[in-house]
Every structure is written in C-alpha cells, then in structure tokens.
Structure 1
Amino acid sequence: MKHSIQSLLAVSTLSTLLASCGGDKKAPEAVTNDDVILHAWSWSFDTIAANMKNIADAGFDYVQTSPANTCYVGEGGGMALYSQPGDSVTGKWYYYYQPIDWKIGNYLLGDRDQFKAMCDSAAKYGVKVIVDVLPNHTAVDHTAVTADLDSAVGGHDKLFHANGLNDIIDYNDRYQCTTGKMGGLPDVNTENPDFQYYYMKYVNDLIACGARGFRYDTAKHIGLPSDPLDSLAERNNFWDIATGREPIRDITLSMPDSLFIYGEVLQDKNVKEDEYAEYMSLTASAYGHALRNALVNHNYYADSLASWHHKADPTKLVTWVESHDTYANQHESAGISDELIREGYVFLTARQNGVPLFFSRPAGSTRDNYWGNNRVGARGNDEFMNPEVVAVNKFRHAMHGQPESIFVSDNGAVIEVARGNKGVALINIGEEQASIDMPTTLKDGEYVDKVHDTTFKVKDGKISGVLTPLTSYIIY
C-alpha cells in the first residue's frame, strides 16, 4: 500500500475533488505561492550583479543579500568567512550582523553605488532584491557606533532599551526576549521615535535604490503591541511603522504594497507566531528541522512532514532545507550532502505553499571543509544552477493555481508531489535505486521528465518507472 497525504488547505482538497470529476466544469484555482528566493549568502553586491543573468535563468524570483548596513570592522577588515588564530587571512562573516550605523554600505559587501548597480542589474533581468535588515541590535562593542547614530537618537544612552545591556537568561520570557541582550549584542530601543525615524530613512533609501523586500533578522526579539514595555518605551509600535501601517513623523514606508517582507521568528515555546504573522511572512524553522531529519534518515516518515509545524497559514511561510544559521553557526546542516539538500529543496519548491529559500553554500565547500574557498564577497558554489533546481523552480511557476497531493512509497524513500493533474515531482531521497508503482493524479500516458530524459508511464491512476538514488524527476 502506498501512502497519500493531501494538502492541509481546504481549498486544495476541494480543487482536487472537482478536478477528478471530469466534465466541462473547471476547478477553481487553488491558492498557491509561486515565488522562490536565492540567498546569495556573503556574496558582494558586485558579485550578485555579475551573476544576475544566471540567477534569472535559474528561475529565481528574488535574490536575498546579506546585511547592507554599516557594520563593525573586525580583525583588521579581513575578508575570510571564518578564521582561527594563526590563519593567514583573518575575518568573520558575521561582522555584517553587527551594525554601527544604519546607512547603506559596508567593507564586506560594497558601498551604496555598488548596491544601486546591483539593484539596476536585478531590474534588468526581472529579479527582485530582498535585503537582510537588523534593527534589533548593534555591534557587540557598542562604543563603535557612529557619532551620527548617537546624535540622531538623542544620545548614546537613548539608543538602547533600559534592559538592553542585560543578557537574556530565559528566551521564553517575552520581556527578556524583546528588550535584553542576545548573544552579546546590545538591544536597540526600537520604540524610540528618534531611532525609528533614522532607521526608516535607511529602509526607504534601500527601496529608492531598488530593493523590493526585506528579511528582518532576529524579528522575535522586537516587541509586539501585546508584549511588555521597556521602561524607556511608550508603545510597542515598531512593527506598525516598519510595515507601513503608521508613519513616523513625515516618513512612511515607501511602496509597502510592492514589498515582500518576512521575519526571522525562530520557533520556541512562547513565540507569538500568529501575532507576528499579522505583520509579515515568517520563517518555518521547525519545518526545516523536520525535513532535515527526514533527509538524513532517507525516510519521509522519520519525522512529521504532513504538518507545517506552524501557527501561521502556510501561504505566509518562508521555507528552507537550511539557512545561513543552520549552516554557519552551529553547523547543524553543514554535514548534509549537497545532493540531499537539493532533493529537500525540490520537495519544498514543488509544493503548493510556502516560499522556498535556497541557501548558497560557499564555493569549494565540502562536508569536511564547510568554509570552502573561505572568502566573503565570492560567489557560492554552483548548486543554485543545478538542473534539478532550475527545473523545479520553473515547475513551480508553471503550477500556479494547482493544488497539491503528496504520495510516498512504503519505505519513505520516494516522494511524489502532484499538482492537480498538470505535473508531478518525483524525489528519491533514498540511497538505492527505486522502482515505483505509485498513485498519481496525472492522466494516463507516457511522460519524459525535464531533467534526466527518463520515461515514466501512467495507467489507471498509477505512475511507474525507475529512479536513481538521490535524484529528482520533474514532469509536466
């Protein structure tokens, strides 16, 4: 017996039933997310611009940059992704996550002119730019912040929450979580109107240069209206201003209806996912963890993938197999092979909902050398242009309005994501060749997949064929 998992969305189930009835009635379109994001992690603005045609040809709708803000200059300005004492080239990738001012440009990625040129290149090729922004904190060495920033917010003491230099002890305590120092990073008073005004000038400058979306780093550490107030705050209104619901003095978020905004709201016991989702899309961190567990066990059933593990509607989720945090911080995902990461991405991208993000690993990286060529600014490896990645990106666009059905082999090694009766993605996450005879929604006939020219046959609601280990097949 083969297993079938239907979409969680009622509209998807309805569409599937109507589509199976035949006749002249046209099934209503399902609600689908059609876009995909390439995270060009640690690529410089010039490098992204030089590769924009490749990004567009690979079918990515968005390219996400690393933080563009002025940042702390660490280790003499060295350009290594990561270094240890005694290395000939020093540096750390995470210095761009340590703001000392909110103006465009830093020594790791490029200046404002280079950022603008990158956005111009993106517009030329029909790609939209997402910028990683981080108003939550400053550099660990907060004395390094610029005089301009201190002056703009009313003085250095006004830059931080009253609790902002105290370490978070309990991350499930919402007061500590939204006002305290995370990982040694002093917590900015994001409710200070002077800071809000200064920060929104930065955001609107990014938009003026061509940015069309934002990823909010450490979003769960910025308070919601229902959260406890810091003693220096009158209202927890940062998200209303950052998303364009409210102006701050004479500034309002530019073109809010044309922006894709999502927040890094890592899931835990006391995270108000539903309230954050009222403002923006959210990261599906728990689902990524479940998917990695299934992949490394080569078994869909090793974890629960039928549920999105999230309170928010799946249309408001950003999904990934891995993120820069799971790869570069604790290396939770860094030991997983490129092939398994790719098959996981195909699974996510073939699905009806969620906005999948493909993380670009460093060029030259291996499972023994996570940093590869070890240079900030360089392009990542070639995986973002892998034929299976390209094919599933294009499949996603072609499946607009089509509901999903998921079928899985008994041993959990082969996953079929069917989209209405228009197409399927077949994914073998197993380490052995698989001969399949599985349920499908495709019409009877003979099909050749878009990547490997492999033939599959469909008869009486069953699809049959042979799948190579760790390989995906895209049919439509």
Structure 2
Amino acid sequence: MPGTRFPSLRRLVLVVALLMVVSSLPFGPVHHSTARAQTSSPRTVFVHLFEWKWTDIAQECENFLGPRGFAAVQVSPPQEHAIVAGYPWWQRYQPVSYQLTSRSGTRAEFANMVARCKAVGVDIYVDAVINHMTGVGSGVGSAGSTYSPYNYPGIYQYQDFHHCGRNGNDDIQNYGDRYEVQNCELVNLADLDTGSSYVRDRLAAYLNDLISLGVAGFRIDAAKHIAAGDIAAILSRVNGSPYIYQEVIGAAGEPITPWEYTNNGDVTEFKYSNEIGRVFLNGKLAWLSQFGEAWGMLPSDKAIVFVDNHDNQRGHGGGGTVVTYKNGVLYDLANVFMLAWPYGYPQVMSSYEFSNDFQGPPSDANGNTRSVYVNGQPNCFGEWKCEHRWRPIANMVAFRNATASTFSVSDWWSNGNNQIAFGRGDKGFVVINREDTTLNRTFQTSMAPGVYCNVIVADFTNGTCSGQTVTVDSNRRITVSIPPFSALAIHVGAKLSTQPATVAVTFNVNATTYWGQNVFVVGNIPQLGNWNPAQAVPLSAATYPVWSGTVNLPANTTIEYKYIKRDGSNVVWECCNNRVITTPGSGSMTLNETWRP
C-alpha cells in the first residue's frame, strides 16, 4: 500500500499496445441553427429548459449557455394557459389566450429574456401550441381570462373549432384514420379549425407577435394533428424566416408520417430517442456504426434528435424505451454519443425531479414556479436536475461545435459489444465504455499530435485543462484507460496551447509471478494512476522475470511509486515505503529494480 493512505483517485492515460480498425462513414451535412456571426465556431446544440422562469433563463444564457456555445433555448409555451388542479406540467399546453402571461412570467420578463439571450448569441425557440385550446370545459387562465366550451372571448367561438362528429365525445380513437387524427380532439382538447382563414390569421398573429420580440424559431406542438398544408398556410402568414421544427410522432402502420412535414421545416425524430434508449439500456453499442438514416430515420438535415424530451421521459409522446436522468451515468453516455455522432440537430433536455407523469415544476402551494436561481446561483442537481450542466453533457457542446465542419465518422472501432470509439476526422475523437471492466487500448486517430484535455472529466479554460490530458503521439495514436461506464473525448478546441515537458522513464523490475499474474507500476501522479490499482501502468515480461515499460512523465518532478502484482481484481503490493525518484529536466532515465516481497 502507498504510504499510510490512498490519495484521491483520478482517471489517467495508460499504456496498451493495440491498433484499431480504421473506417470512414459519410453522413449528411451539419445542421446549423440561425446565424452565428459572433462566434468563431458554429453553434450546433440547443437545450430545452423545461418549465424554467423567464428571469432564470435570462441569467442562464448569460452565465452558462452563451459561454458554453449553446445555439438556442427551447422555452415552454409562453401564452396564457389553463389553471388545472394540482398544477400539472401539461396545463402549459392548454391555451386560453395569446397574452404572454404564464407561470414562467410576464410579457415584459419574456421580452427581457429574449433580448438578454440574444445579446450573448443564444436564440429563443418558442414551443407553439397552435393545434388546440384548453380541454373542453370552463375556467380561468393564468392571465385572468375566462373561457367556456369552445368559447374564448375575443379570440375564438364554436365555429372556429373542428367538430368531427365521431366517437361520441369527439376524441381521437383510431390513429389509423387520418381524418380522426387531424379533425377530432386530442384527449378532449378543443381542436382548432386550422383550415379556416380566420384561425390561420389569429395563429399567425400570435407567432408574429413573438417574432416582434426577437423570437428566432418555433417548435410546432402536436403538428401531427394538423394537416401539413394547414401548417404551411399558417407559416406563409408569418414574418421573416423563423426556424421551424415540428413535433410529429411517427408510428408503424399509421397514415401520417414525419416525412410529409419536412417541406415546412425540420421534424422531431422520436425514433432516434427510442433506438438510442434501446441500445444503451439493453443492446450493444457496436450496433451504432451506421446510426441514423440507415436505421430508417429522417434525413440528417431535417431531424431534431434527443435522448429524451419532456414527453417521452414521462412515458408520453410515443413512450418507448427511453434513457432519462434517472438512469444516472447511462444518461451521460447516451448524451455523449448523441453530441459526438454526426446526425441531426441535437436537443439537450433539462428537467426537474418528478415522481409521476403529470407532476408540474417545483412550485409553491399556489402553483407559482420556484426559481432555479437562489442567491444568484443555480440550485441544480436537486429538485431542478439541470442535465445541461452535467460536465460530460455540457462539455460535449464544444466538441460538437468544434467538429461541425467534419460531419462524418472516421476511425470507427468496437469490441463487438459495448465499447466503441470513433473520430470526426482531425477535429475530434471519442471513446465510450459501457462495460463493467476498464478499457485499456491504443487507438488510431486522425488528430494532430499534441496534448488535449479529456473534456468528459475535465474543463478546458484559457488554454489549460483542469484534469486528465490525453497525448496524441507522432503517429496520431492515443493510449488510454477508460474506467467502466465512462468515456473520453478530445477535440481541436481543447488542445493545450503549451505542451508540458516530459521525460521517458523506463521501469525495469525483477519480479517472479504465477500464470495469469502480471506486474504494474502505480504512483502519485495521473500518468501512474494516482495510486489507483485499476489504472496502474502495465509492464511487459518480454525478458521474464524482468518486467519492463516506458512511460512519459513530467520533467523536473519528484514522483512516488510502487510495483504491484495483479491477477484480475486481486492486487498484491510490494512492501515497505514508497519508492521515490526525481525526473530530469529533459531526456530519459532508466530504473533497474527488484520486487520487494
């Protein structure tokens, strides 16, 4: 054992001599959001801050999203909404009027948020509920407006709604019937007659009002329940060229497909979420080598992709096998893959804790949403989950931005099971280990030689890395050790500006072993595993009983180390005090030593 206690554990670079299979898989062009003139890298990821208040989103844009390179925020529906007993999340999706007064804040707060986010290069996308109004009934909305069945004073009356004349209560019963899906009521929600010029004008006026405040794009909620031609007619009345994406949940055997909506804009690709969930929860990552269009999904430049969204993380919106924040590290890994893989325009989910499928956001007894920010700081990782701030997810936004110009896969490798690696040409490289054993391997990459920050476990700031670094050698190879259920990612935007001086230290130790037992060196620095036996550097027995290995260690550094013998998870430490060396300022050094029993 080293000294009297273990220092803290850290991931590190290990030496393993294997080369990977090289392949190149072309994919569709990068999906850009709206113009990004003020940033040197294209911004290619947006986040859904589900149920956040406008004042909180403004702060988050300035404090985190802008500096981290997010393209945009999808916000919850801003219009006046129904007030429902228990204040469920879905009351936001029951419009009462198009006044901008909701449980996220006032019109003035909304406008202030849009302006502040835009000032730091972050667009606002509004979740636009234009298929329907409230559930058929009476009540008072969040701005004080009263309503009754098919009567929203000053806006709509009975004749402005579809009355499909089927199923008794007009609800959709048969999703195999296009007419029902687009003319009957979705779970009792008063279905707007989007074929009416009057209704189209009112909906366009709502969208134009939002555009006048600086809104850059719209998610068309429940687009599947609106004829694609009706959406086109509404959008023809909209000013400018806002970014459009439409919620269309495709299902086998149904007559309405996501493809028929692509002429209006992009479309949510729910199959991506279901398939990535199926693979990461129950499948093999090796299956993902052609993930995307080859799996029957939309063209990359038309697809909005996500690991989970506010609907399907609750079992709604098509349901399926979905990875959510409740899956812990698997959720990290699935998002790392999504943000590294060149397909679609990715949306990161930012949730709150929920224990049932209708639970609303953290609120007081009167349904007033609690702020994420407390005393100027985000109160994340408790009732607000803030997945977009989880380091592996947050730092992969910069990875996607940095690799956007090389929208294809290179250097694909898998072990045939749940360990994969792939590159994005000379712009980035990622390794994902979804197995319960450490992945020790040398990978061939296309990256330029140098030292890079592993952004999965460390932050890259002002040319320096807060933790583990990865060296790409002169042959463009990396030799790494990836712990179980972890990942590694490097990219050109996280290359150290000054490379630390190192010396090659050769360890030779005379040590007898039994069959299956091997010898390693472990020490007090990351290059030697930070005293973690699982991350120790393996030595070779080419001249048994002498075990040898060469490691690049920091120059002019005093280092403590020991030799260990390992047989699987069984570890034997040599005795006595830690060995100590001080490396020279340059060159190399060789140690010839004997195991201390």
The bucket for the TM-score relative to the shorter chain is 0.7 to 0.9
Distance 2:331 2:311 in 1: 15
Distance 1:10 1:133 in 2: 28
Structure 1 position 437, deviation (Å): 3.2
Show the 5 A alignment for 1:113-262. Answer: 113-144=108-139, 146=147, 150=152, 155-163=157-165, 166-224=170-228, 237-244=229-236, 252-256=237-241, 259-262=242-245
Question: Greater helix share, 1 or 2?
Answer: 1
Show the 5 A alignment for 1:371-410. Answer: 374-375=362-363, 376-379=369-372, 380-405=384-409, 407-410=412-415
SS in 2 for 1:197: helix
Range that drifts further, 393-402 or 63-72: 393-402
Q: What residue in structure 1 maps to residue 65 of structure 2?
A: 55
Range that drifts further, 348-357 or 61-70: 348-357
Q: Is residue 334–residue 370 contact of structure 1 (8 Å, CA) maintained in 2? A: no
SS in 2 for 1:64: strand
Q: What residue in structure 2 maps to residue 9 of structure 1?
A: 27
AA aligned to 1:241 is A
Unaligned 5+ residue runs, structure 2? Answer: 1-18, 31-40, 140-145, 364-368, 373-383, 459-466, 492-597
| Number of equivalenced pairs | 419
Q: Is residue 349–residue 396 contact of structure 1 (8 Å, CA) maintained in 2? A: yes
Distance 1:41 1:59 in 2: 19
Distance 2:222 2:480 in 1: 45
Q: Is residue 71–residue 99 contact of structure 1 (8 Å, CA) maintained in 2? A: yes
SS in 2 for 1:261: strand
Question: Greater strand share, 1 or 2?
Answer: 2
| TM-score, normalisation: structure 1 | 0.79
AA aligned to 2:423 is A
Structure 1 position 211, deviation (Å): 1.0
Distance 1:311 1:389 in 2: 24
Show the 5 A alignment for 1:296-315. Answer: 296-297=281-282, 299-301=284-286, 306-308=291-293, 309-310=295-296, 312-315=298-301
State the Cα RMSD in Å: 3.2
Q: Is residue 437–residue 484 contact of structure 2 (8 Å, CA) maintained in 1? A: yes
Distance 1:139 1:372 in 2: 17
Structure 1 pair 428/370, CA: closer, same or farther in 2 (3 Å)? farther
Q: Is residue 273–residue 311 contact of structure 1 (8 Å, CA) maintained in 2? A: no
Q: What residue in structure 2 maps to residue 232 of structure 1?
A: none
Structure 1 position 366, deviation (Å): 8.2
Show the 5 A alignment for 1:262-277. Answer: 262-269=245-252, 270-277=255-262
Structure 1 position 194, deviation (Å): 1.0
Cα deviation, 1:5-35, whole Å, max 9, x if unaligned, reads: 74453789xxxxxxxxxxxxxxxxxxx9852
Rg larger for: 2
Structure 1 pair 33/221, CA: closer, same or farther in 2 (3 Å)? farther
Identity of matched residues, %: 21
| TM-score, normalisation: structure 2 | 0.64
Structure 1 pair 169/369, CA: closer, same or farther in 2 (3 Å)? closer
Range that drifts further, 35-44 or 420-429: 420-429
Q: What residue in structure 1 maps to residue 82 of structure 2?
A: 72
AA aligned to 2:44 is D
AA aligned to 1:323 is N
SS in 1 for 2:189: coil
SS in 1 for 2:124: strand
Structure 1 position 398, deviation (Å): 1.6
Distance 2:240 2:445 in 1: 43
Structure 1 position 3, deviation (Å): 6.6
